[in-house]
């Protein structure tokens, strides 16, 4: 596993090309970040995330006229690609529809991969800073599953941890929390949306409110590991408003999430742009 660096010149030229079109722009972060346990990385800690939510959301943002930067875990789910069958899957499906959609929207979409949590944090700052000049037209939609703990680079061992010991103890430090820096520094006028994933229903609301207090996102979306494709709880910080979305039949829940968010973002842009 190797580090990824963002080709900032490429991102800048993509962004500049679309700047005059007066369209909203979204940064979607997606997939889990890795925490290497060795410098020559064989072992790493990962966060469970298929990247399905991010990939689906990208498609719905594109349908709502957004320019999309898709900052995703390498090899996680990709928009459009996710609908194409494996050769081992012999079911029937309408692949040509999704291929057509891809070709319709591809010039508005830029794929930017990451792997480690360090690469993610560096990239998040760079990409948000690049969107700063879009002011209220920028939306940051952070659904990547970011590691909470990591081993700082100067504490990493060079080679593969030896096997054959009676116990292996791994000491991890908290990952610096940069979510608050988005509104605080990187892109203060952007509309910022982040996710909270929990496994214990009792603490979900409380965790969302704590997050809002700490990081000043405009919207926090709470979801439970087991029901995340069927229900989300959306909290708007400014209005102190909770909305529950239950999935409609024959639609992915991301369709409704993006429908709601793009409307909130539209109003946000009108307020002071």
160 binds its own copies (CB under 8 A): yes
In the complex, the smallest distance separating the C-beta of residue 197 from its own copies, rounded to whole angstroms, is 7
Smallest CA-to-CA distance from 112 within 47, 58, 62, 65 is with 58
225 binds its own copies (CB under 8 A): yes
- Determine contact, residues 164/48, Cβ cutoff 8 Å: no
114 binds its own copies (CB under 8 A): no
Question: Which residue among 163, 244, 271, 273 contacts its own copies (CB under 8 A)?
Answer: 163
| Beta strand 231-236 pairing with 241-246 | antiparallel
How far apart, in Å, are the Cα atoms of 54 and each of 37, 78, 143, 254? Answer: 26, 8, 6, 9
How far apart, in Å, are the Cα atoms of 8 and each of 16, 124, 164? Answer: 12, 12, 44
159 binds its own copies (CB under 8 A): yes
Total of chain residues touching its own copies, rule CB under 8 A: 48
CA distance 223 to 229: 9
248 binds its own copies (CB under 8 A): no
- Determine contact, residues 193/238, Cβ cutoff 8 Å: no
94 binds its own copies (CB under 8 A): no
10 binds its own copies (CB under 8 A): no
In the complex, the smallest distance separating the C-beta of residue 62 from its own copies, rounded to whole angstroms, is 14
84 binds its own copies (CB under 8 A): yes
**Distance of alpha carbon 266 from the chain centroid:** 20
Question: Which residue among 190, 197, 245, 257 contacts its own copies (CB under 8 A)?
Answer: 197
156 binds its own copies (CB under 8 A): no
Smallest CA-to-CA distance from 264 within 192, 207, 206, 194 is with 192
Question: Which residue among 96, 164, 213, 271 contacts its own copies (CB under 8 A)?
Answer: 164
Backbone dihedral angles phi then psi of residue 226, each to the nearest 5 degrees: -80, -25
249 binds its own copies (CB under 8 A): no
- Choice between 110 and 130, CB closer to its own copies: 110
Smallest CA-to-CA distance from 124 within 198, 175, 55 is with 175
Question: Which residue among 145, 179, 193, 220 contacts its own copies (CB under 8 A)?
Answer: 145
97 binds its own copies (CB under 8 A): no
Which position has the token pair 């209220």? 136
For the chain, the C-alpha Rg in angstroms (whole number) is 19
Question: Which residue among 7, 13, 17, 42 contacts its own copies (CB under 8 A)?
Answer: 42
Enumerate binding residues for its own copies (CB under 8 A). 1, 34, 37-38, 40-48, 78, 80-81, 84, 86-88, 99, 102, 111, 145, 147-149, 159-161, 163-174, 197-200, 225-226
């Amino acid at each position: 596993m190797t580090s990824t660096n963002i080709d900032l010149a490429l991102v800048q030229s993509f962004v500049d090309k679309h700047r005059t079109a007066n369209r909203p722009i979204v940064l979607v972060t997606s997939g889990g970040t890795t925490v290497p346990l060795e410098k020559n990385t064989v072992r790493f800690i990962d966060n469970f995330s298929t990247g399905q939510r991010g990939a689906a959301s990208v498609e719905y943002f594109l349908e709502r006229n957004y320019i999309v930067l898709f900052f995703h875990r390498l090899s996680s789910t990709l928009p459009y690609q996710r609908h194409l069958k494996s050769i081992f899957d012999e079911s029937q499906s309408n692949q040509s529809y999704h291929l057509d959609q891809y070709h319709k929207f591809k010039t508005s979409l830029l794929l930017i991969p990451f792997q480690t949590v360090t690469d993610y944090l560096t990239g998040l700052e760079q990409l948000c800073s690049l969107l700063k000049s879009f002011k209220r037209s920028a939306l940051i939609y952070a659904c990547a599953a970011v590691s909470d703990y990591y081993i700082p680079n100067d504490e990493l061992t060079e080679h593969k941890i030896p096997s054959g010991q009676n116990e292996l103890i791994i000491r991890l430090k908290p990952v610096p929390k940069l979510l608050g820096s988005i509104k605080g520094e990187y892109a203060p006028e952007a509309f910022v949306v982040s996710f909270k994933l929990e496994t214990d229903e009792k603490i979900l609301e409380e965790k969302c409110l704590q997050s809002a207090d700490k990081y000043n996102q405009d919207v926090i979306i709470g979801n439970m590991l087991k029901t995340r494709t069927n229900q989300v709880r959306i909290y708007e910080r400014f209005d102190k408003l909770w909305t529950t979305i239950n999935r409609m039949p024959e639609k992915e829940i991301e369709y409704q999430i993006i429908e709601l968010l793009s409307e909130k973002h539209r109003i946000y842009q009108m307020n002071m742009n």
